[in-house]
Each structure stands twice: as structure tokens, then as C-alpha cells.
Amino acid sequence: MFGQSEGVTTDIGSDCNPVLTKLRLKSKIKMFLDEFSVFLDSINDMKNFFLFGDYNFHYECYDTKVNSLKRLLEEHNIKQLVQGPTHQQGHTLDLVLHRNALQLTLNTQVEDKCISDHYVITVKTSIEKCSANKTVTIKRDIKHINLENFKEDISKCLSSHSASSIDQLSEYLQGVLNKHAPMEEKTISTRPIAPWMSLKAKEAKQEKRRAERQWKKSGLTVHKQIYTK
């Protein structure tokens, strides 16, 4: 349906605030604006959402195409949060669009992290995390049993008790086990899995952080090149 742009959608927070990402492909301005208008109509029932994207508009300019985009946002009660350039050439290409029906606290920051010709945009807000699911587990700490003491207590148990049945023997041995490794109940909080944070992504993030620290410590151009490659 939308051939002039690409996008993905997810939810954040306990109130399931939609986060949508749009990338405008190389297309004619009018075609994109017509399609974008249809897209905004399709999400008009959403009272609260974020819409991030590289729109390839020089948003800081006051030409006809930018004014058309701004008018389109105003018609749909959508605010644009980014102030200042988001690209090395000094243009505001990347936008953070938001409909704030819940009156969330918002703080938007644009930084050149030297990882792309586009800058990093950070949005801090007051959205609450999704409620964690509680899982109760019951287990024994078997691996920390003192084996010598355990063996000694088993021998004492067997020599001092004459079991008349398998069930009774099991009960005696259960008592010894409870002494050395009692049952422990533990409550674990589980949150939804972040599918994008794979092991490969974590390793890449750690490697990038190491390169960043090295560059900031030395200030050498070669270390900056390693960080930004």
C-alpha cells in the first residue's frame, strides 16, 4: 500500500504506546505526501504515539514542500520535536513526530556520535515500563552440599532407623536432604524479550563502546577512524 516509504511498528510502555519508524525512499515529494497523508489517516485513532524517521526534507527551510508537510502534521494534531540539524551538512532530515494525548514529559536531544552522517536523536519520556510477570520457582541448592557431612548423616540415619518400607526409607532420606539442601522459593520477574538484542548485537555494542573509550582517551585520529568505521 505504501510504496514511497518503508517502516516498522512496535509498542513501548505499560500503556502500549505505539512507536512507528518511517524511511522515505527516493520518490517525488507529492507522491510521498499523498501517501503519507493516507498513512496518517490510518493511525488517526491512536491518541498517543511516536513516529521516528528520515524524511529527507530540509525541515528547517520554509519552502512549499516543507510547508505542505507541516500543514499535514498540524491537520492531524502531530507535533515535531527535533530542533536543529540532524545531518552533517546542517539540515534537519530526521524527525520525531508525536501525538501526546497523555501529556507525557518529553526531552529530545540531538548528538553527533560520529557513527554516521546522520546524528543520534535521543528522546527521554515518562512512559512506565511494562509490568513484569512474576514466576515462582522452588529448588534446592544441591551443588553447595558438603558431601562428607551429607554422607555421614546418611550413614547415621540408616544405622539409627530401621525402615519397614520403601516409603519410610524415602522419608528418612528426605529429612537428611532437607537438612543439607532445604527447598527454597524464589520469585523471578520476567519482561518481554527484546528480539533485536541478540548475542551478536550485544557483542557489536561492546566492541563499539571499547573503541569509543579508546578514542576519547587518546584523541587520536586513527582511533576515531576505528570507532566510526
pLDDT classification of 158: cutoffs 50, 70, 90? confident
The answer on 122 and 78 residing in a single domain is: yes
The per-residue pLDDT for 46 is 84
Query: Is 209 found in the same domain as 157?
Result: no
> Do 117 and 19 share a structural domain?
yes
Which residues make beta-bridge pairs with 87?
Answer: 118
Arithmetic mean of pLDDT, 160-187: 85
- Residue 194 belongs to a domain: no
Residue 59's pLDDT is what? 93
* Same domain, residue pair 42 and 19: yes
Residues 106 and 177 in one domain: no
- Residue 226 one-letter amino acid: I
Question: Do you know the residue count of the chain?
Answer: 229
Tell me, what's the pLDDT at 2?
53
Angstrom distances, CA of residue 21 to CA of 49, 143, 167: 11, 48, 63
pLDDT in the model for residue 168 = 81
Mean pLDDT confidence for 177-206: 84
78/121 same-domain check? yes
Whole-number Å distance between alpha carbons of 131 and 42 = 29
CA distance 157 to 180: 13
Q: Is-contact 165 191, C-beta < 8 A?
A: no
Q: Is residue 184 part of a domain?
A: yes
Please check whether residue 29 lies inside any domain of the structure: yes
Rg of the chain's alpha carbons, rounded to an integer?
A: 30
Percent of the chain with pLDDT over 90: 34
For 142-162, what is the mean pLDDT? 87
User: Final residue of a domain: which of 130, 149, 172?
Assistant: 130
- DSSP letter, residue 160: H
The answer to the question of residue 193 being in a domain is no
| DSSP-based three-state secondary structure for 73 | helix
229 vs 105, more confident: 229
Look at the chain and report how many structural domains it folds into: 3
Give the pLDDT band of residue 84 (cuts 50, 70, 90). very high
For residues 13 and 65, membership in a common domain is answered with yes
Q: What is the pLDDT of residue 91?
A: 94
Examine the pLDDT at 96 and tell me if it is beyond 70.
yes
The pLDDT score that the predictor gives to residue 14 is 52
31: pLDDT strictly greater than 50: yes
What's the predicted TM-score (pTM) here? Answer: 0.60
Whether the predicted pLDDT of 20 surpasses 60: yes
DSSP alpha helix (H) spans, the chain: 29-42, 64-75, 147-160, 166-180, 199-218, 221-228
Residue-range definition of the domain harbouring residue 153: 133-188
- Rounded-to-integer distance, Cα 103 and Cα 35, Å: 28
Q: What pLDDT, on a 0 to 100 scale, did the predictor assign at position 102?
A: 63
121 and 144 co-located in one domain: no
Candidate from 13-27, 68-82, 95-109, 121-135 with smallest mean pLDDT = 13-27
147 falls within a domain: yes
Q: Which of 2-6, 76-80, 133-137 has the lowest mean pLDDT?
A: 2-6
**Are 24 and 124 part of one and the same domain?**
yes
What mean pLDDT is predicted for residues 139-143?
91
pLDDT at 1: 46
